[in-house]
Structure 1
């Protein structure tokens, strides 16, 4: 197992972030702006600090870069949550949604500097490519059938009914020339029926585009709704939850995300006491979303 790069001390990074962000956030909090406008300014400041910290990554050995990026992303997540809360206190829905975004960003960082050099991000295919591949397949199978023209007219009508399918997913990449598609979810609750149906449609479209495509759903929570079981039974998507999600990320990218979980992530210690108590004392204990 790797060790955390010596130049990346979590406490030093957090001290730097607090020293740089605190004065600016105090100034923003006094501006005659809406809560949303203040939050946007805070988020922009955190993103700028993250970019500044990340500039040092390219000076490291390649094997250390993925782990370093994860440490930086976590520290900026801590700071981002803390300072956004100061200008716009979190309520349940806003916090759960934001954690989903930040957890996905943390995981996706492993693809930015993969230790496995065969992992290369790629653009998602356009649905027009899928439609073309399927039409060519149907045309070839029909051959000179006397109803071929009528069948193709019906197929075209079906495509018009279906409309365009957005093939964009959280991570689309090749690993040793095999296409992979990753969808991240913080949790799969009772409101995920629409997302389940979308994933089934997108999965089938990817298999038409390239039958070798590996489809993976990576979920933060262990406990999830029945819709996730439907996806598992579909045999389209490989589904991983909780600790298995991080094992799969390591397996794919080579980034030592488990080391970061064990040695770096400590929300109780890294968030201020006041903010942590605020999350803990909400009608729904929001610290449950900090189980990373």
Structure 2
């Protein structure tokens, strides 16, 4: 079993000398951050490779612990070579939180859960054109209508249907979009999700669309998605309950028994986050 109390000291012992060397180098901040992130990724890959020897039912929990521990040291050492400011930290937390959640799909307990490739919009377009052609039948204006429909498709252009998780559960297509939070700058993303969601429903009307959000407090744009009844929306603690329901991963036990940012980050780094004009520790509400 992977144990945080052993794993974190092991990671620090492995990484500290190399990080100190990077910090003293003449590289740019960006280059230093890239090298630090690469070292942490290498450690994570090594640890994840080792859990393949565990029984299948234990791999998911072990992978979540590894992902959290590598997130802790990744944040710590990136800051050491390039101190975080607000936008960089909030963006990075979004990436790392999504990676933590997606680990449940890499090692699902539920054997009916299997990732799949996102469909191409060309398939959706073809399905819709066939439906319209069939409904028009021998209508005397069929050619004119289909010409107008083709023009509309040209105006819309190609829609990227790639999402954070696209998978089947018991042969039912599921689509998940992860968001750390839904703020005042999310209007464009809201419109994109509405478009993508409708495209998925045309592709397969059974598709379940879910938006999983880290924060409980969110902007009105999230309420618009909720009112659309197209996307199923879960926020805060309910997000983790949904992940457990879908994959079988024991995320709640990790949240309650493993995740402890105040204890696991160095006091210097935690106090730095706390003392910023906007308290950055709010982003550590996982």
Which bracket does the TM-score occupy, shorter chain normalised?
A: over 0.9
Counterpart secondary structure, 1:239 = strand
**Offset, 1:27:** 0.8
Q: How does 1:221-240 map to 2 (within 5 A)?
A: 221-240=215-234
**Offset, 1:175:** 0.3
**Offset, 1:171:** 0.2
Post-superposition CA distance 1:65-92 (Å, at most 9, x none): 1111000000000000000000000000
Per the alignment, residue 17 of structure 2 pairs with 23
**Offset, 1:11:** 1.5
Q: How does 1:157-168 map to 2 (within 5 A)?
A: 157-168=151-162
Counterpart secondary structure, 1:173 = strand
Per the alignment, residue 89 of structure 1 pairs with 83
- Is residue 267 of structure 2 the alignment partner of residue 273 of structure 1? yes
Post-superposition CA distance 1:175-229 (Å, at most 9, x none): 0000000000000000000000000000000000000000000000000000000
Counterpart secondary structure, 2:277 = coil
Per the alignment, residue 253 of structure 2 pairs with 259
Counterpart pick for 1:287 among 265, 277, 281: 281
Counterparts of 2:27 and 2:135, CA distance in 1: 63
Q: How does 1:235-246 map to 2 (within 5 A)?
A: 235-246=229-240
Counterparts of 2:125 and 2:27, CA distance in 1: 48
- Is residue 77 of structure 2 the alignment partner of residue 80 of structure 1? no
- Is residue 35 of structure 2 the alignment partner of residue 37 of structure 1? no
Counterpart pick for 2:44 among 50, 58, 63: 50
What's the RMSD between the two structures over aligned residues? Answer: 0.5
**Offset, 1:126:** 0.5
Counterparts of 2:221 and 2:281, CA distance in 1: 24
Post-superposition CA distance 1:231-263 (Å, at most 9, x none): 000010000000000000000000000000000
Counterparts of 1:56 and 1:38, CA distance in 2: 28
Per the alignment, residue 127 of structure 2 pairs with 133
Counterparts of 1:121 and 1:168, CA distance in 2: 12
Count of residue pairs the alignment pairs up: 286
Counterpart secondary structure, 1:120 = strand
**Offset, 1:18:** 0.3
**Offset, 1:59:** 1.1
Per the alignment, residue 117 of structure 1 pairs with 111
Structure 1: gaps spanning 5 or more residues: 1-6
Counterparts of 2:26 and 2:130, CA distance in 1: 60
